Structure 1
C-alpha cells in the first residue's frame, strides 16, 4: 500500500472517529468479563448497580445502568429547575455469573433506562435491585419542582424465564401533592389480576378508600426487550 492510500485512510478514520464522538451512539457491551470494570465502556459512568442470583444457578449475577459522560450532551438552562441537564444516552446491562468466575452478557437495552430531560424533574431512575426470589426490580420515581402537582413511584419486576426477562408484576403509586389524593395500581401479570386502591381526602381531612379488583387475560407476557421503552405500553387505560 503506497503512502497516498495510507494518508487517505488515516484521514478517513480520523474524521469518522470525530463524528462518532460528536454523535455518540450506544456501544455494544462486552460479551464477557471478569469484573464490572471490564464491562463498563470507556467514558461511561454507573448510575445504579445490583448483584444477586437472577437465573437460579447459584452464581452471582450483575445488573447495571450506565450513562455516557460527553460534555457536548450537556444542555444549559437559565429557567426554573437545574441549571444543567445531562442528556447523554443511557443503557441497561445484565450479566450472568458463570462457574469459571466470568460474567457473560445476558441482555443489553439501550432504551429502558429513561433520561432526566426536564429541568424541573428529579432523577427518574430510583434504582435497581435483584430480589431474594431472583426477580429483577427496576424503580422509577417522578417528582417535579414545577409544572406538575402529581408525583409517582413506578416499580417493574422481571423474572428470567423462557430465555427472556419477562414482566411478572408492576406497581404504580400516584399522589396529588395539592389534595393528597392517591391512587395505587398493583398488577400481577402471571395471575391476570389488577388491584386499584383509590384514597381521597375529604373536607374534614377524613380518608375515604375505594378498592377495585379486575381480572384479565394476557396471551403472552411482555419482556424488557418487547417493552422497548417504559411507559409506552397501553394497558388497562394507562401506560406501563
Structure 2
C-alpha cells in the first residue's frame, strides 16, 4: 500500500511540476533553475523505475522472451530472473534447402535481481552472445543450450548428444557475472574421448585423456590425467562476451 501511495504522490508531483515549471523557471536564478531540473529528473527516473515491476518490462524493443529461468543468484532469499531473449529481425529468417523456414536471429541474456519492494534491478544485459537455436550441426544436430541456476551459480549448458557436452559456470561478482568454471566432455557415442575442467579462480586446468579410445563399452575408458595453469588475470564477464561459440580456453 505504501508503494502505491508513494507512486501516486510522485505522479501528482510530476503533474504539478510540469504545469508550473514553464511559468516559474524563467523567474528563478541559475542555481535554482539547475536545482529544479535535478528534482524533475529524479522524479521522472523514479517513475521509470517503479513502472518496471515485471521481468518482461526489461525486454528491449525488437526482442522477445525465448526462455525464462527463476532462482536465487545473490543469496538474498529473493527469486531472481534470467531472461533469454531473441531478436526479431525479418532478414534473419531464412529458407533452408532441407529444413524449411529457420529463424536465425541470435539470442541474448538479461539477469534481474528482485528487490525488497518487489521490483527488479537489471544486473546484466547482453543482447546477442548466443547463436540461434537453428544453426547447422553438420552431420548431427546443433548443440542444445540450457540455462539453469543452482546454489547461487548461473550455469550455461550446451548438450551435443553423442558428441558430449560443455558447461560454463558464472558467479555474481562486482555487479556482473564472472566466469568461474568450465567443464566439457568430448565423446564418441557412449565412449568418453577426453574431459576438461577449468577453475578460473585458481587458474588450474585438468585434462583427462582416454588412452583406450578404441574400446566399445561404456566404462572401459582408461584416463591419463594432466594439469596445467591458465592465465586468469583478466576475468571473463558475462556482459562482455560477444559470442559463446568463439570462447576458447
**Structure-2-length-normalised TM-score:** 0.67
CA contact (8 A) 2:69 2:81 kept: yes
Which residue matches 1:67? 86
Match of 2:153 among 91, 110, 135: 135
Count of matched residue pairs: 196
Which residue matches 1:222? 236
Which residue matches 2:209? 198
2:122 aligned with 1:118, yes or no? Answer: no
Report the alpha carbon displacement of residue 203 of structure 1 after superposing the two structures with TM.
Answer: 5.9
List alignment gaps of at least 5 residues for structure 2. 1-47
C-alpha distance in structure 2 between counterparts of 1:169 and 1:119, whole Å: 25
Match of 2:163 among 151, 160, 180: 151
Report the alpha carbon displacement of residue 62 of structure 1 after superposing the two structures with TM.
Answer: 0.5
Higher helix share: 2
Report the alpha carbon displacement of residue 72 of structure 1 after superposing the two structures with TM.
Answer: 4.4
C-alpha distance in structure 2 between counterparts of 1:175 and 1:67, whole Å: 30
C-alpha distance in structure 1 between counterparts of 2:146 and 2:242, whole Å: 18
Which residue matches 2:196? 185
**Structure-1-length-normalised TM-score:** 0.70
Structure 1 or 2, whichever has the larger Rg, is 2
- The 1:174/1:84 distance shift into structure 2, 3 A limit, reads farther
Which residue matches 2:26? none
CA contact (8 A) 1:48 1:127 kept: no
List alignment gaps of at least 5 residues for structure 1. 1-29, 144-149, 234-238
Match of 2:74 among 55, 59, 62: 55
Report the alpha carbon displacement of residue 154 of structure 1 after superposing the two structures with TM.
Answer: 1.4
User: Where does structure 1 differ by over 6 angstroms across 4 or more consecutive aligned residues?
Assistant: none
Report the alpha carbon displacement of residue 125 of structure 1 after superposing the two structures with TM.
Answer: 4.3
2:191 aligned with 1:172, yes or no? Answer: no
Q: Secondary structure at the match of 1:100?
A: coil
C-alpha distance in structure 1 between counterparts of 2:242 and 2:92, whole Å: 23
Q: What is the root-mean-square deviation of aligned Cα atoms in Å?
A: 2.8
CA contact (8 A) 2:136 2:142 kept: no
